[in-house]
Structure 1
Amino acid sequence: MCIFCKIVNGEIPNKTILEDEKFLAFEDISPATKVHVLVIPKDHYTSFDVVPPKIMAGMTEFIQKVASKLNLREDGYRLITNIGEHGGQVVHHLHFHILGGEYVGRLVGDKIKE
């Protein structure tokens, strides 16, 4: 069982931001920005490449609610998902990073650091 499935099952504690019957948003344990939240479906999908579009439609709405709750929608935020080894995916459970609360910089031209 992956770490995010253990979080969903209550085996690993988390700092929940928002939760409903299908999705969970919680604080990242190693934040990269002032606000760094992970959003996951409660059902296990390994990545964006395999998730059904119907689930993504619900996840889109949920992510927008999380961004509103965190007061990020006015100033903006970055939304990222990593897919596969070359995309930098470490946990193979679909998840989105919401980064914000401060200027996060431009992605184009930024160097990716290990």
Structure 2
Amino acid sequence: MLSAPATAAQVRKFQRECAFRDTAPRLALPSRGALARYRVRPLFARLENGGASPQLVTSNGSETLAADEARVVAWTLDRDHFTNTQISTAFSDLDSELVAHSLDKLHAMKVIELL
């Protein structure tokens, strides 16, 4: 009876239902809210200060940065992981929109990942 195909199908169905019922509330997509966490992928990026303006150079291309953006990028590249709270505290003297824009650039260039 336990090895019958109908029993196996019922067991698989029950396991699927239990798995989704028990874990679904804990699953969440990455969020950019106050508790957002980021992972830095520094192997793909470097900051160059040789020209008139700092440049972020990655395997996907390069991006010219303003001085304040370069500060955010340099801080970011020195870490493995960080949170929105940490970066907001580190750059409390900067406009939050500038910090968010810098994070968007880093995310678009695949330098950071949203966890």
TM-score in same-fold range (> 0.5): no
| TM norm structure 2 | 0.30
Structure with larger Rg: 2
